[in-house]
Amino acid sequence: MAEEFKRLKRELVAKGHIIDYYHDTMQIPNGNIAEWDFIKHRGAAAIVPVLEDGRILMVRQYRNALERDTLEIPAGGLNPDEPTDRAALRELEEETGYRCDKAESLISIYTTVAFCNEKIDIYVARNLVPSHQHLDEDEFIRVEAYSVEELQEMIYQGKLQDSKTVGAVLAYACKYGK
């Protein structure tokens, strides 16, 4: 079906710190021309940090787009040429103050397929070792720990809505039987 769509033009509208915004002119299967928005993202990585007692470390931080705090798994954008497993481990230490030597692949998601190509590779970290946070100047993060069951209940109650976190918690629960 993709061969029935043809991009005629892509124009950069704005270049941002983490995204670029484009205006696409597309020819669609019926021959008509459509104007679509496209957000280009460099990609991201996230991690499910599991403590010895089975609880998952979460980060609570303010999100400007929602104008409120959110509860999420640690995550962040990729540096140039950085493998996603390394990025996930970097974000683990930066945001939670714990480190780990190895990340196990859990799931990959595209966050908003209608207009954005952001892909997040999500990993699991075990055998966590206390270290210290390395927060950016604009980051204010509180680290909290929850059982998988508590996180699932928050999802079902609509209290936990971040898509990467919802996907990660449910995939983790499915894979590890929690």
Q: Active-site residues: which are they?
A: 137
Q: Which two tokens stand for residue 151?
A: 């996180």
Long-range contact set of residues 149-152: C-beta below 8 Å, sequence gap at least 24: 149/178, 151/56, 151/58, 152/178
- The H-or-E segment that residue 154 falls in is helix 148-156
- The H-or-E segment that residue 65 falls in is none
